């Protein structure tokens, strides 16, 4: 089964570096300062692009205001439907819940990766299983990682297809959707389907679950009974109060990023030469900044891409300080105007754009703000269902078998599960949603398996940096990094693959190919963090491993973590990863 990581081929040409000097002029005149000069073009105006259309709109609005009076205009703003602060699905005519079956053997709440992975596990253990998936999105199940990476590089080369096809790192093409439309059965035909299958009820929200009587209730009150149920409701991007509490004029220029609709919206902004300010320095904020900057390189004229965050450098929550700083320089080199150490002090709408006043004294003008400050598990269903939500980590509390109550499982971003090796966790990564969805699916058919397989994650920051991690990857833990000079990296993995047993076996037999006496792991050699391995330690044991521009070694990393032991010499362990080959 292919639930694999779509990576682009790394043999991309070296991209044109745009010099990105952050000029921190104090701006007590509330004047916009240029935070990023494109020295190649010799301009440093810092003016957001493509304002002409907005000016026109403004003129029309003013004329309208004159005609309708201030009251009318106020009514417009109070009922403004263009508030883009949340990820939205396209409007379609509301489907009718009475078309849905009254009872299903397998019911999956949520239409994402975890849910689809559970379906596949159910189907491979119960060939004639009848599965109903309920999702409040208006899409068939799709994967999210390419939305912040590969899809932008595909878009750069031409039109985006209806099924969001993109090129993986391997060069192969595939769609964002796990399966084409024809794969699915109409919900109204599921009960009579002789060979079973999966039906997707799109555009329906589940309000609550009654685990005792095994019945779910939709937001319109319609009830469906089940034998086995999975909650895989994922998470919702967080926003910042400074935006959510702002007037509609500000809010309409602020968005979060999680869906194909968000991709379309942001792409339109970029195609209209708009300047984008991304808030946040985590996976999404950093990946998206690099992808947008690279997307703009195909254009003769484009807006700027700012990345603003309060920490000192990119990915600081997971990367050791030296690597985080090194990465920030690489992100800048791709054309992102990185503004570290800055929080938002105030935001104001000025004609067609937003003025973002920062705590550093800078003011940045942007046409649109993308807030990438993390995600909150979707646990509204817990209210009224008697389900426990973890107070610290969020997510539905489940045991090692991913069971919240008998015959009711939770997987993916929304699950707060018990990992017998590393303790209670909640993980927001694609591979975890595959692995946990599969485990839940297996347990829904009665396998009674505990969580034992460590999932991995990956991220790509443009064509030059790709990394993978497994276990606890947290920069607050002690770390030991072993690096080699960057060489031509080969990204041949298609690592949306579920990590398999074969891979682990293969990794075990790997022998060191070179002595590591020339490894670089000192801060002053900051130019040399091209390729290496970082060990994260707890009680001196390896609890996490980050593979920096090293691919096809995650099985080995998994084996080492599973051993759960202390090593005398981590250089020796690093040798196993063949960081020089």
Query: Which of 378, 479, 489, 549 contacts ligand FAD by CB under 6 A?
Result: 378
Q: Any residues with CB less than 8 A from the CB of 416 and at least 6 apart, and which?
A: 377, 389, 390, 393, 394, 395, 396, 397, 398, 424, 425, 426
Cα 44 to the center of its chain, rounded Å? 32
**Is 114 among the residues that bind ligand FAD (CB under 6 A)?**
yes
Tokens, residue 196: 């079973």
User: Which of 220, 515 has the CB closer to ligand FAD?
Assistant: 220
Specify the stretch interacting with ligand FAD by CB under 6 A; choose among 159-167, 245-253, 453-461, 532-540: 453-461
Both tokens assigned to 299: 């254009």
Q: Decide: 355 and 38 in contact? Cβ < 8 Å.
A: no
Nearer to ligand FAD, 24 or 267 (CB): 267
Comparing CB distances to ligand FAD, the nearer of 234 and 303 is 234
Other beta carbons within 10 Å of 318 = 23
113 contacts ligand FAD (rule: CB under 6 A): yes
- 562 lines the binding site for ligand FAD (CB under 6 A): no
426 is a contact residue toward ligand FAD (CB under 6 A): no
Q: Which stretch binds ligand FAD (CB under 6 A): 311-319, 334-342, 452-460, 513-521?
A: 452-460
Q: Annotate each residue in 233-252 with x if it binds ligand FAD (CB under 6 A) or - if it does not, as one string.
A: xx------------------
> Taking the complex as a whole, how short is the minimal distance between the CB of residue 457 and ligand FAD, in angstroms?
4
For residue 329, give the H/E element and its range: helix 321-333
Determine the straight-line distance between the first and last CA of the chain, rounded to whole angstroms: 30
Closest distance to ligand FAD from the beta carbon of 464 (Å): 16
Measure the CA–CA gap between 41 and 381, rounded to whole angstroms.
53
Minimal distance in Å, beta carbon 531 to ligand FAD? 19
CA gap 12, 10 in Å, rounded: 5
Report the distance separating Cα 160 and Cα 265, nearest Å. 13
Identify residues 310-339 at the interface with ligand FAD (CB under 6 A): none
If the CB atoms of residues 205 and 349 are measured against ligand FAD, the closer one turns out to be 205
Within residues 461-520, the interface with ligand FAD by CB under 6 A covers none
3-state secondary structure of 512: coil
- Contact (CB, 8 A) for 113 and 414: no
Q: Which of residues 188-207 bind ligand FAD (CB under 6 A)?
A: 205-206
Residue from 413, 468, 498, 503 binding ligand FAD (CB under 6 A): 413
Q: What residues from 7 to 36 belong to the interface with ligand FAD (CB under 6 A)?
A: none
Cα–chain center distance at 416: 18
| CB 131, CB 199: distance < 8 Å | yes
Quick one: which H or E segment has residue 575?
helix 570-575
Q: Does residue number 352 form part of the binding site for ligand FAD (CB under 6 A)?
A: no
Instruction: Specify whether the CB–CB gap between 123 and 131 falls below 8 A.
Output: yes
CB atoms within 10 A of CB 297: 14
Torsions phi, psi for 506 (to 5 deg): -60, -45
Exposure of 534 in the CB half-sphere (CA atoms within 13 A): 28
37 or 150, CB closer to ligand FAD? 150
Size of the site for ligand FAD (CB under 6 A): 36
Which helix (DSSP H) or strand (DSSP E) does residue 437 occupy?
helix 430-444
Minimum Å distance from CB 107 to ligand FAD?
A: 11
The stretch near ligand FAD (CB under 6 A) out of 152-160, 161-169, 323-331, 409-417 is: 409-417
| Distant-in-sequence, close-in-space partners of 222: CB < 8 Å, separation ≥ 6 | 97, 98, 100
Residue 346, Cβ neighbours under 10 Å: how many?
13
Q: Interface with ligand FAD includes 111 (CB under 6 A)?
A: yes
Q: Is residue 532 within 8 Å of residue 481, measured between CB atoms?
A: yes
- Which of 278, 381 has the CB closer to ligand FAD? 381
Apex 397 CA angle, 418 and 315, nearest 5: 70
Q: Which is nearer to ligand FAD, 362 or 460 (CB)?
A: 460
CB nearer to ligand FAD: pick between 146 and 481: 146
Name the token pair of 539: 């009680």
The nearer residue to ligand FAD, 129 or 230, going by C-beta atoms, is 230
Instruction: Kindly report the length of the chain.
Output: 581
Between CA 193 and CA 210 the distance in angstroms is 27
Taking the complex as a whole, the smallest distance from the CB of residue 143 to ligand FAD amounts, in Å, to 7
By CB under 6 A, residue 367 contacts ligand FAD? no
Determine which residue in the list 50, 101, 412, 532 makes contact with ligand FAD, applying CB under 6 A.
Answer: 412
Give least dist CB 292 to ligand FAD, A. Answer: 12
- Site track 129-168 with ligand FAD (rule: CB under 6 A), x = hit: -----xxxx------xx-xx--------------------
* CB-nearer residue toward ligand FAD: 302 or 436: 436
Kindly indicate which of the ranges 108-116, 124-132, 269-277, 486-494 contains the residues binding ligand FAD, using the contact rule CB under 6 A: 108-116
Rounded CA-CA distance 263/495 in Å is 22
Interaction site with ligand FAD (CB under 6 A):
109-115, 134-137, 144-145, 147-148, 205-206, 232-234, 257-258, 284, 378, 381, 412-414, 428-431, 433, 457-459
């Amino acid at each position: 089964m292919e639930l694999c990581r779509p990576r682009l081929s790394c043999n991309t040409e070296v991209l044109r570096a745009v010099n990105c000097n952050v000029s921190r002029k104090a701006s007590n005149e509330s004047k916009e300062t240029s935070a990023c000069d494109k020295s190649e073009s010799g301009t440093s105006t810092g003016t957001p692009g493509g304002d002409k259309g907005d000016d026109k709109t403004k003129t029309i609005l003013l004329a309208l205001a004159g005609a309708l009076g201030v009251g009318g205009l106020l009514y417009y703003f109070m009922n403004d439907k263009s508030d883009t602060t949340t990820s939205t699905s396209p409007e379609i005519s509301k489907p009718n819940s009475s078309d849905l079956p009254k009872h299903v053997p397998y019911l999956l709440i949520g239409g994402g990766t975890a849910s689809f992975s559970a379906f596949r596990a159910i189907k491979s253990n119960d060939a004639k299983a009848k599965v109903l998936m309920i999702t409040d999105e208006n899409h068939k199940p799709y994967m999210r990682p390419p939305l912040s990476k590969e899809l932008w590089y595909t878009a750069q080369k031409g039109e985006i297809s209806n099924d969001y096809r993109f090129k993986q790192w391997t060069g192969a093409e595939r769609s964002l959707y796990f399966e084409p439309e024809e794969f699915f059965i109409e919900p109204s035909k599921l009960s009579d389907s002789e060979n079973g299958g999966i039906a997707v009820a799109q555009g329906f929200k589940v309000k609550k679950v009654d685990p005792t009587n095994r019945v779910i209730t939709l937001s319109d009150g319609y009830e469906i009974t089940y034998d086995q149920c999975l909650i895989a409701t994922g998470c919702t991007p967080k926003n910042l109060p400074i935006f959510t509490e702002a007037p509609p004029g500000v809010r309409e220029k602020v968005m979060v990023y999680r869906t194909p609709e968000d991709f379309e919206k942001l792409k339109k902004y970029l195609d209209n030469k708009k300047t984008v300010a991304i808030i946040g320095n985590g996976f999404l904020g950093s990946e998206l900044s690099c992808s947008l900057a690279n997307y703009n390189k195909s254009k003769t004229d484009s807006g700027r891409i700012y990345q603003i965050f309060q920490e000192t450098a990119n990915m600081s929550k997971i990367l050791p300080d030296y690597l985080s700083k090194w990465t920030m320089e690489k992100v800048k080199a791709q054309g992102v105007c990185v503004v570290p150490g800055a929080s938002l002090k105030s935001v104001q709408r000025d004609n067609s754009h937003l003025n973002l006043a920062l705590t550093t004294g800078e003011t940045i003008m942007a046409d649109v703000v993308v807030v990438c400050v993390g995600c909150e598990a979707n646990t509204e269903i817990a209210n009224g269902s008697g389900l426990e939500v973890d107070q610290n980590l969020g997510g539905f509390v489940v045991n090692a078998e991913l069971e919240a109550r008998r015959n009711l499982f939770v997987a993916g971003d929304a699950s707060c599960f018990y990992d017998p090796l590393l303790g209670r966790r909640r993980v927001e990564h694609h591979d975890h949603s595959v692995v946990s969805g599969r485990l839940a699916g297996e347990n829904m058919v009665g396998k009674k398996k505990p969580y034992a397989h460590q999932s991995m994650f990956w991220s790509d920051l443009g064509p030059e940096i790709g990394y993978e991690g497994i276990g606890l990857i947290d920069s607050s833990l002690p770390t030991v990094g072993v690096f080699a000079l960057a060489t031509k990296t080969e990204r041949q993995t298609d690592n949306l693959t579920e990590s398999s047993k074969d891979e682990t076996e293969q990794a075990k037999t790997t022998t060191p190919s070179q002595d590591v006496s020339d490894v670089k792991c000192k801060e002053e050699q900051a130019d040399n963090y091209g390729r290496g391995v970082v060990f994260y330690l707890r009680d001196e044991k390896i609890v996490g491993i980050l593979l920096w521009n090293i691919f096809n070694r995650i099985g080995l990393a998994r084996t080492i973590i599973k051993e759960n032991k202390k090593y005398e010499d981590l250089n020796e362990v690093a040798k196993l990863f063949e960081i020089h080959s």
